[in-house]
């Protein structure tokens, strides 16, 4: 173990194009997508045959066969078979949380390098039978005679065969994430027009990122797909205004299919390393992972399911001795336009900051021109576990190109939030010298 904490370098990352569910990746599994992303990273950084100390990540929507997903994905790549794969999950924060764990081990000297990865597909969502019918199937092999087997199905009804898709509602409240976000929009007085404008800007910036070539080295073509199929270059505010609400059909509803992220398939990964390991392989460090933070709130009592990142950001700012305004780039995951806008309003609100963040004054506003400058989840899509790695790779590249400091904020199911601070090499060196 290192006597002093080492800097945690981010070499870079890649991702598959993100596709709406049941489109181009309809026949691919989490394992297929995760393996594709990892092989893209291997190719990009010349890691064929290389031993990586840990590959950590997972998926949110999984089958029972995915219990060893990260390790199985490693074995499907050109990495050395000696590379361990660790499967974990923290909803939409999965791959960023994976990076946090890898970073801590690099900082203490336990490992030299690691890959954070996330994958999700709702095209391959597990469909199960009713509990009653499943119980019959479990009992069946235990029966000794044909008559015993027949008795297992006594009272059988065809209704037992009705498939049961994954439940998307929060177990503690019975409300979907979209329904929770409608409540947040109402509480923070986030209008439909504000949400549509925000979604429009995300698509506009994402389209420009592709046109400019910025995305070229971040995307691994997969299954004949070369770009995200949710992205709309021809999007217009007039078209957005015509869409019906998706979660609240009353006149109070404001969330639509356009200002909310769609069900999405895809995978993303990021390579982290000590400076020594990267130097030995001739790999430049794009940026440094300086701080990470995970928080949760009491959403069951009404604090707002997707408001926990406000807490994580407040805590990470305190640890870093920084103000909310001390950043050159902000990457706030766009699960919903309303969720981002509510978060920004909360940081500006004295009462919220006092009650929930323990602050004597609000964190304040940010420069919106620095927010999600290359587009984000509303434009690209949101394969739950993959989003953290996508955001991390994007911000790291921005800092490598422009320098400075960046803040990440990601909301998750279960009333949790994950935050991170990244620094460019020049910024990190200046901080170390101070």
Give the 3-state DSSP-derived string for the chain, with helices as H, strands as E and coil as C: CCCCCCCCEEEEEEECCCEECCCCCCCCCHHHHHHHHHHHHHHHHCCCCCCCCEEEEECCCCCHHHHHHHHHHHHCCCCCCCCCEEECCECECHHHHHHHHHHHHHHHCCCCEEEEEEEECCCCCCCECCHHHHHHHHHHHHCCCHHHHHHHCCCCCHHHHCCECCCCECCCCCCEHHHHHHHHHHHCCCCHHHHHHHHHHHHHHHHHHHHCCCCCCCECCECCECCCCCCCCCCCHHHHHCCCECCCCCCCCCCECCCECCCEEEEEEEEEECHHHHHHCCCCCCEEEEEEEEEECCHHHCCCCCCHHHHHHHHHHHHHCCCCCCCCEEEECCCEHHHHHHHHHHHHCHHHHHHHHCCCCCCCCCCHHHECCCCCHHHHCCCHHHHHHHHHHHHHHHHHHHCCEEEEEEEECCCEEEEEEEEEHHHHHHHHHC
Active-site residue (options: 180, 203, 333, 382): 382
User: CA 216, CA 226: separation in Å to the nearest integer?
Assistant: 9
**Tokens at 107, concatenated:** 């900082």
Active-site annotation holder among 19, 269, 353, 411: 411
Our answer to whether residue 19 is catalytic in this structure is no
Q: Establish whether 402 is a catalytic residue.
A: no
Whether residue 279 contacts residue 387, with contact meaning beta carbons closer than 8 Å, is answered with no
Handedness of CA 101, 103, 105, 107 (dihedral sign): negative
Q: With residue 135 as reference, give the H or E element that holds it.
A: helix 131-139
Query: Is there a catalytic annotation at residue 353?
Result: no
Name the catalytic one among 19, 92, 181, 269: 92
Residues labelled catalytic = 92, 382, 411
């Amino acid at each position: 173990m290192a006597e002093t904490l080492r800097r945690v370098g981010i070499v870079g990352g890649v991702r598959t194009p993100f596709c709406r569910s049941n489109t181009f990746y309809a026949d691919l599994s989490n394992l297929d997508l995760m393996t594709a992303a990892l092989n893209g990273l291997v190719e990009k950084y010349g890691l064929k045959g290389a031993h990586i100390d840990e590959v950590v990540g997972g998926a949110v929507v999984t089958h029972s066969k995915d219990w060893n997903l990260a390790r199985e994905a490693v074995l499907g790549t050109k990495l050395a078979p000696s590379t361990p794969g660790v499967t974990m999950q923290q909803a939409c924060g999965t791959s960023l949380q994976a990076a946090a764990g890898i970073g801590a081990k690099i900082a203490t000297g336990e490992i030299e390098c690691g890959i954070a990865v996330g994958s999700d597909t709702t095209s391959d969502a597990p469909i199960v039978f009713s509990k009653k019918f499943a119980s019959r199937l479990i009992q069946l092999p235990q029966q000794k005679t044909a008559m015993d087997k027949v008795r297992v199905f006594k009272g059988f009804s065809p209704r037992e065969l009705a498939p049961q898709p994954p439940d998307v509602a929060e177990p503690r409240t019975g409300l979907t994430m979209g329904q929770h976000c409608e409540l947040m929009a109402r509480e923070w007085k986030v209008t439909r027009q504000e949400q549509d404008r925000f979604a429009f800007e995300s698509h506009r910036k994402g389209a420009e990122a592709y046109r400019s070539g910025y995305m070229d080295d971040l995307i691994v073509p997969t299954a004949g797909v070369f770009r995200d199929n949710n992205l709309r270059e021809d999007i217009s505010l007039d078209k957005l205004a015509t869409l019906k609400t998706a979660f609240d059909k009353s006149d109070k509803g404001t969330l639509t299919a356009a200002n909310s992220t769609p069900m999405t398939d895809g995978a993303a990964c990021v390579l982290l390393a000590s400076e020594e390991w990267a130097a030995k392989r001739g790999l430049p460090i794009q940026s440094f992972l300086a701080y990470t933070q995970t928080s949760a709130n009491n959403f069951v009592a009404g604090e707002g399911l997707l408001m926990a990142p406000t807490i994580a950001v407040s805590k990470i700012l305190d640890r870093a001795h920084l103000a909310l305004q001390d950043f050159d780039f902000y990457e706030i995951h766009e699960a919903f336009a309303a969720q981002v806008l509510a978060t920004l309003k909360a940081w500006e609100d004295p009462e919220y900051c006092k009650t929930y963040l323990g602050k004597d004054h609000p964190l304040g506003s940010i420069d919106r021109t620095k927010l999600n400058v290359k587009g984000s989840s509303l434009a690209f899509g949101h394969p739950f576990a993959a989003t953290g790695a996508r955001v991390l790779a994007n911000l790291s590249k921005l800092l490598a190109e422009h320098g400075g400091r960046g803040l990440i904020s990601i909301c998750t199911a279960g009333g949790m939030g994950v935050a991170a601070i990244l620094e460019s090499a020049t910024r990190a060196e200046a901080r170390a010298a101070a």
